[in-house]
Amino acid sequence: MDDPLVRISGLRVAFDGVPVLRGVDLAVGSGEAVGLVGESGCGKSVTWLAALGLLPGKAQVTGSVVLDGQELLGAPMPLLDRVRGGQIAMIFQDPASSLNPVHRIGRQVGEALRLHRGMDGAAARAETRRLLDQVGIPDAGNRMEAYPHELSGGQNQRVMIAMALAGRPRLLVADEPTTALDVTIQAQILDLLATLRAETGMALVLISHDLGVVAETCDRVAVMYAGLVIEEVSSARLFDAPAHPYTQGLLSALPPLDGLPRQHLAAIPGSVPEPRALPPGCAFGPRCPRRASLCDEQVPLLVDVAPGQRAACRILGADVPPAFGLAAA
């Protein structure tokens, strides 16, 4: 990407000396929707928390996160406070505990309006009401006086989204926004995010376990494994031509498309390595059906494997059949 909105490069994060991100490269273009998938603990959340400086002080963060030509890592606090919510907004997995239980929701949305758009009083109330309306909260005028515990999980997530929209961000990072919600509500929230993106033109990063959801909502998908992006591919190519054996494994772990709700990714044999005990070379090696001796030599780099597709696997191109019986797909 020539001139992305946000470019993360070589992002490394360690907690107490244990590396959990090992050089993440990821770019998000203006208005683009990027999916970020991978098994639990691979570093999806940490990537964006680090980008916004939201990790606890004990985290050691190095690398670079550039927004609009401006470096965010190590940026002064006042700059970060303007970026957070104003340029890049983030919503989280559990909406019920992500809202402050002692403040009315209208006030929590209004706080973002005051910070990023200087709105106060009646103007702020009117805009809060409009935003709650926009995200589909019924009876918004009265609901703004409610406390989070008086709303359902889905409604709270809508409030979170309204709060994120309040600062007119150019990028919304949605960290598993539907994991804590009922299946029917999940679809509504994803629809809402897609609609809002179309209306506002903001970019979207959708973090999820669910490849199907991500491919549906996003233009492009980045797959993470053990603290690295190991494949980047357009949603169109994802199902037809996944390159990395791990991505192939994730896809074959999806249940057939017969209308049953998709399950969490689990069907790859073995388990994710502990961050403090990574194997040498490719971290996926021990679970990889195509592992060869060169895999253990060094950590593979992301390289172009096709137009618009990059993967970090050293045996790609070698004449080995695709793994996990995916040949039929």
Partner 1 sequence: MLRFIAGRLLRAALTIVMVVTFAFVVLRLSGDPALLILSVDAPPEAVAAFREAWGLDRPLWVQYFSYFGAILQGDLGQSMRDGRDAIDLVAERIPATLALTLPALALKVGIGIPAGVYAALHRNSATDRVVMVMAVAGFAVPSFVLGLLLVLVFAVQLGWLPSGGQDSWRHAILPVITLGIGGAAVLARFTRSAMLEVLGQPYIRTASAKGVSWRAVVRGHALPNAAIPTVTIVGFMVGSLIAGAVVVESVFSWPGVGRLLVVAVSNRDLAVVQCVLLLVAATMVTSNFIVDLLYGVLDPRLRTARGGGKG
Ligand X SMILES: Nc1ncnc2c1ncn2[C@@H]1O[C@H](COP(=O)(O)OP(=O)(O)OP(=O)(O)O)[C@@H](O)[C@H]1O
**Neighbour-count burial of 278, counting CB atoms closer than 10 A to its CB (0-12 exposed, 13-18 middle, 19+ buried):** middle
Nearest residue to Mg ion by CB is 45
Q: Which does 221 bind (CB under 5 to 8 A by kind): partner 1, Mg ion, ligand X, none?
A: none
Q: Which does 41 bind (CB under 5 to 8 A by kind): ligand X, Mg ion, partner 1, none?
A: ligand X
Q: How far is the CB of 103 from partner 1 (least distance, A)?
A: 8
Q: Which does 288 bind (CB under 5 to 8 A by kind): Mg ion, partner 1, ligand X, none?
A: none
String of contacts with partner 1 for each residue 63-92, x by CB under 8 A: --------------xx--xxxxxx--xx-x
Q: Which is nearer to Mg ion, 137 or 229 (CB)?
A: 229
- Residue pair 170/5 in contact by the 8 Å Cβ criterion: yes
Judged by CB under 8 A, the chain residues 114 through 173 that form the site for partner 1 are 115-116, 145-147, 149-150, 160, 163-164, 166-167
Nearest to 247 by CA among 226, 271, 227, 222: 222
Q: How far is the CB of 40 from Mg ion (least distance, A)?
A: 7
Q: Which is nearer to partner 1, 166 or 305 (CB)?
A: 166
Return all residues near 201 (Cβ < 8 A) that are at least 6 apart. Answer: 30, 31
Residue with tokens 């009401």: 129
Backbone angles phi and psi of 92, in degrees to 5: -120, 175
Cα–chain center distance at 24: 13
Q: Which does 121 bind (CB under 5 to 8 A by kind): partner 1, Mg ion, ligand X, none?
A: none
Q: Where are the beta strands (DSSP E) in 72-156?
A: 88-91
Q: Which is nearer to Mg ion, 45 or 98 (CB)?
A: 45
Q: Which does 160 bind (CB under 5 to 8 A by kind): ligand X, Mg ion, partner 1, none?
A: partner 1
Q: Which does 256 bind (CB under 5 to 8 A by kind): Mg ion, ligand X, partner 1, none?
A: none
Task: Choose one: 7-15, 42-50, 64-72, 232-240; the region binding Mg ion (CB under 5 A).
Answer: 42-50
Backbone angles phi and psi of 183, in degrees to 5: -55, -45
According to DSSP, the residues that pair with 36 across neighbouring strands are: 207, 222
Nearest to 170 by CA among 200, 198, 201, 202: 202
- Residue pair 190/105 in contact by the 8 Å Cβ criterion: no
Of 5, 13, 32, 45, which one interacts with Mg ion (CB under 5 A)?
45
Task: Provide the token pair at 114.
Answer: 């005051």
Return all residues near 306 (Cβ < 8 A) that are at least 6 apart. Answer: 237, 241, 243
Q: How far is the CB of 62 from partner 1 (least distance, A)?
A: 21
Task: Choose one: 39-47, 73-81, 152-160, 310-318; the region binding Mg ion (CB under 5 A).
Answer: 39-47
- Residue pair 75/53 in contact by the 8 Å Cβ criterion: yes
Q: Which does 324 bind (CB under 5 to 8 A by kind): partner 1, ligand X, Mg ion, none?
A: none
Cα–chain center distance at 10: 17
Give residue 153's identity as a one-letter amino acid code.
Answer: G
Q: Is 247 in the site for Mg ion (CB under 5 A)?
A: no
Q: How far is the CB of 218 from ligand X (least distance, A)?
A: 17
Q: How far is the CB of 280 from Mg ion (least distance, A)?
A: 27
Q: Label residue 201 left, alpha or beta by phi (over 0 means left) and psi (-120 to 50 means alpha).
A: left
Q: Is 112 in the site for partner 1 (CB under 8 A)?
A: yes
Binding site for Mg ion (CB under 5 A): 45
Binding site for partner 1 (CB under 8 A): 49, 52, 54, 77-78, 81-86, 89-90, 92, 94, 97-103, 111-112, 115-116, 145-147, 149-150, 160, 163-164, 166-167
